[in-house]
Structure 1
Amino acid sequence: MTAEIVIINQHGVAMAADSAVTIGNQKIINSAIKLFSLSRTEPVGIMIYGSANLLTIPWETLIKLYRKNNTSQLNNLKNYGEGFIDYLNSQLHLYSDEQQNHWAESRIRDIYNYIIEQIRRELTELQTKGASIDDSVINTHTESIILEYLGVLQDNIQIFQGEIDQAVIDRINTISAPLIEMIFPFTSSKPSIRDSLARVAQLSIFNCSPINSSGIVIAGFGELDIFPSVITYEIYGVFNNQLLYRIREDKTIINENSRYMRSDIIPYAQEDVVRSFLDGIHPELYKYAMDFTEKTIQQTLADPLLEFKNPIDIKVLSKACADSLKQEIERYMTSNLLSPMLDMITALPKDELAGMAEALVNMTAFRRKMAFSSMETVGGPVDVAVISKGDGLVWVKRKHYFPGELNTHFFENYFK
């Protein structure tokens, strides 16, 4: 896991990233490099979060190969983002069919494990309440959870750009069939459930699902840009010789119009502490409060003394009341907490941008350190860079895995 921040205003953009990387479920190393310059001479930076590799190749390797082979100036930041994606597409020969199948198998297995865990949790709750568990109950809950997850996948944006022909579907089915047999052996007499599981496997490849994805954040200026921009990609993997990715519109700011400049603070990966700072309430507490409010209103309206006897009316009215409260709280948070913060961000000079970005990452690290029930998944030295039109990419804080005075040839070779 990780914590990263981009703060953008008219003066430039600050990027900050921690150094923690989780290996397996327990081991944490605080020396990972997640922030790079995308060009040796141009004002463009790139950060990575989520999975550190694209299949088997580290992102650091791919970024530095791109940087070595692409030295031209581009007109705007969009061109840099598109150029990096085009470069990745040109390198798909590095991934064999076996590696692509292994990626798909890993992705499908993770989703199947998530589904089976949900089934176990529901059945355990039923058992705790004294209900008897038989094959009929198991199959009913299994089918319900699978159909619910199918709905989630169907609602997501499609990332598979090529033609979805029968050969692609057959390839996915061949990968998923042994996983179904291994993880869901109790469905052997239920072909309809197995068909749904096969469909889950297909949609996990065709549609975006954040499991084991990588985030790529590109920020800075193109040659014709007056103000900085930020583009965020989620890259899922490679299958059928296709790079599977999408643009995160909610974390992308393109400032092409010189008459209007948007300033913002964009957190990545572990966002809860930063969102608490910006919004004035922890996201989990906010969700709990809204769910509790809706449930309380529903129970109140269901009181026998009231005239609402129709369960459908009660549900509609309780949701309407909860939605009204939610809208009012979000309006208050935006106008009284978030907007004043963004107004202040607009005027920050470059050094203050860097200081704030580093402080927000350190806040997240400190919160993880103080949480008794969670691992310190954010920590280590914080790398900080500021990118401006006049100065380019300037490192404010940067760790090296080697002493600079012993490796002067590294810095001499960098611009060759």
Structure 2
Amino acid sequence: MTAEIAILNKEGVALASDSAVTMTLPTGAKIKQSANKLFALSKFHPVGIMIFGNAAFMGIPWEIIIKIYRKTLKKRKFDELGQYANHFLKYINNRNLIPESVQEKFVKDTINSYFIFFQILIRTELMKVISPEKENISVPNIKDEMKKITPKVIDEHYKMWKNAKHSAVINKNCSITIKKKYKKFITELINKHFVENLNLDSKNKLHEIAGFLFCKFPDNIQNPDIAGIVISGYGDKDLFPCVKTFIIEGVVENQLKYYVDEHKTFKITFDREARVIPFAQEDMVETFMYGMHPLNRIFHFDFINGMLEKYPDEIIKNLDKYNDKEKEKLLKKLVKSNKRIFDNYTNQFGKFAVKNHSRDIHRVVSMLPKDELASMAESLVNLTSFKRKVSMEMETVGGPVDVAVISKGDGFVWIKRKHYFNKDLNPQFFKNYNMEVE
């Protein structure tokens, strides 16, 4: 995991990233504090890129991809930042970069991982049935229970994937192609991971899900191996800075599966003068911006909503003079009123947080010079790092903070940048770097 941030105003955009990277192994997790996640996308023009999530794309470290792309881009420039982003996405969707053998491995690994995920869900449901904590329940035959639970879990996920939006950038026939091409492999996985005598309907749904994995984005499930890329700066005709964020999964059948994260995409205009955008681990930045930790806010709203949901029943129980029909009618009115009260409360709560916290911060940010934008970006990343350090959580944010500022006039400028080598011992590195620029 990581903590990254982009802070924009009319002066420019400050980018900051920590250096922590988590390596997950079968025996546990290892955290290193030396990863590079912030880069110049062009050596000649004011464009930068940050990476969060998976440190590699289809097995290739992002740092390698970005630096090779930079050599390919050379001095080429585009009118708008979005054109830089589209050009980069087109580059990584290249069969010369990602050969078909790698794409096939990605498909097989993804389907296998999802079917293993199914097993975890099924076992979780099974434990609810055979839990020894439940009184007066005899331990059922586990195989019989598995046969009951498995189709239910499969059906639930099938409906979720079926109703999910199809990716706008993936061919509509991609799902059918995957099912046909990998039919034998999917069948083998079903026989390996699921109960014997699984009904035909459930098997067909698993084949459908295997195809959906590569062309749809359901709201409540996200591939743990996805990566986020943040491209920021200016196109040649952009007056003010912009940030565009993409969530990327991989390349299948020579098609890149990704979507634009609209919530993390922003362009400074004459009317929209500042924005603070956190990425990956956002909790401490949200606490700073809105005055309450996100988990506290969720608990707060859930508790009040639960209390309001129970309240009508408690009232109805104590109304002896009403008959059942009248009580039912009154209950519906109370439930409707409570929903209106709760919706109004959450709306007013949000307005209060904006008025008393984030609005004033954004006003100040809109006036900050470039050096203070950089200081603020670094401080907010350090705030998240410090919180992890003084809590019992894993220190998934930490290490040196890389900071850069991109402005229209000065371009991409490093404020802080770590190196894995001693600069004094490697003058040739900087000589070679500068030769490429000349």
The TM-score normalised by the length of structure 1 is 0.91
- Whether contact under 8 Å (1:387, 1:393) holds in the other structure is yes
Aligned equivalents of 2:197, 2:330: Cα separation in 1: 38
Q: Is it true that 1:214 corresponds to 2:219 in the alignment?
A: no
The one of 163, 167, 185 aligned to 2:177:
167
Aligned AA for 2:284?
V
1:3 deviates by 0.7
- Whether contact under 8 Å (1:75, 1:225) holds in the other structure is yes
- For 1:39, what is the secondary structure of its paired residue? coil
> Moved runs in structure 1, 4+ residues, more than 6 A?
none
Aligned AA for 2:190?
I
Greater displacement, 282-291 / 217-226 = 282-291
The one of 127, 130, 134 aligned to 1:129:
134
Greater displacement, 167-176 / 223-232 = 167-176
Q: Is it true that 1:397 corresponds to 2:390 in the alignment?
A: no
The one of 73, 81, 85 aligned to 2:89:
85
Aligned AA for 2:31?
I
- Report 1:237-316 matches (<5 A): 237-255=250-268, 259-303=270-314, 304-305=317-318, 308-309=327-328, 313=332
- Whether contact under 8 Å (1:16, 1:358) holds in the other structure is yes
> Considering only aligned residues, what root-mean-square deviation do their CA atoms show, in Å?
2.4
Q: Is it true that 1:366 corresponds to 2:371 in the alignment?
A: no
Deviations 1:92-150 (A, max 9, x none): 23323332122123223333333332332333234233445455654454344334333
Partner residue of 1:39? Answer: 42
Aligned AA for 2:53?
G
1:8 deviates by 0.6
1:260 deviates by 3.3
The one of 69, 76, 87 aligned to 1:72:
76
Aligned equivalents of 1:181, 1:100: Cα separation in 2: 24
Distance 1:289 1:46, change over 3 A: same
Distance 1:222 1:348, change over 3 A: same
Aligned equivalents of 1:283, 1:235: Cα separation in 2: 25
- For 1:92, what is the secondary structure of its paired residue? coil
Partner residue of 2:322? Answer: none
- Whether contact under 8 Å (2:388, 2:397) holds in the other structure is yes
Kindly name which structure, 1 or 2, has the bigger radius of gyration based on alpha carbons: 2
Distance 1:119 1:328, change over 3 A: farther
The one of 97, 102, 114 aligned to 1:99:
102
1:317 deviates by 5.5
- For 1:74, what is the secondary structure of its paired residue? coil
- For 2:79, what is the secondary structure of its paired residue? coil
- Whether contact under 8 Å (1:19, 1:31) holds in the other structure is yes
Aligned equivalents of 1:254, 1:194: Cα separation in 2: 47
1:172 deviates by 4.4
- Whether contact under 8 Å (1:294, 1:321) holds in the other structure is no
Structure 2 stretches lacking a partner, 5+ long: 320-325
Partner residue of 1:327? Answer: 347
Distance 1:273 1:108, change over 3 A: farther
- Whether contact under 8 Å (2:312, 2:331) holds in the other structure is no
Aligned equivalents of 1:220, 1:392: Cα separation in 2: 8
Aligned equivalents of 1:104, 1:392: Cα separation in 2: 40
Q: Is it true that 1:356 corresponds to 2:365 in the alignment?
A: no
- Whether contact under 8 Å (1:6, 1:14) holds in the other structure is yes
Greater displacement, 260-269 / 116-125 = 116-125
- Report 1:164-203 matches (<5 A): 164=173, 166-184=176-194, 186=195, 188-203=197-212
- For 1:121, what is the secondary structure of its paired residue? helix
Aligned AA for 1:403?
N
Aligned AA for 1:2?
T
1:410 deviates by 1.4
Aligned AA for 1:343?
R
Partner residue of 1:235? Answer: 248
- Whether contact under 8 Å (1:22, 1:29) holds in the other structure is yes
Deviations 1:249-273 (A, max 9, x none): 1111134x5x434411111111112
Greater displacement, 130-139 / 274-283 = 130-139
Equivalent pairs counted in the alignment come to: 411
The TM-score normalised by the length of structure 2 is 0.87
Partner residue of 2:161? Answer: 153
Aligned equivalents of 2:208, 2:40: Cα separation in 1: 41
- For 1:150, what is the secondary structure of its paired residue? helix
Identity of matched residues, %? 37
Distance 1:97 1:360, change over 3 A: same
- Whether contact under 8 Å (1:101, 1:175) holds in the other structure is no
Deviations 1:16-69 (A, max 9, x none): 011111111411111000000011121111000111111121111111011111
Structure 1 stretches lacking a partner, 5+ long: none
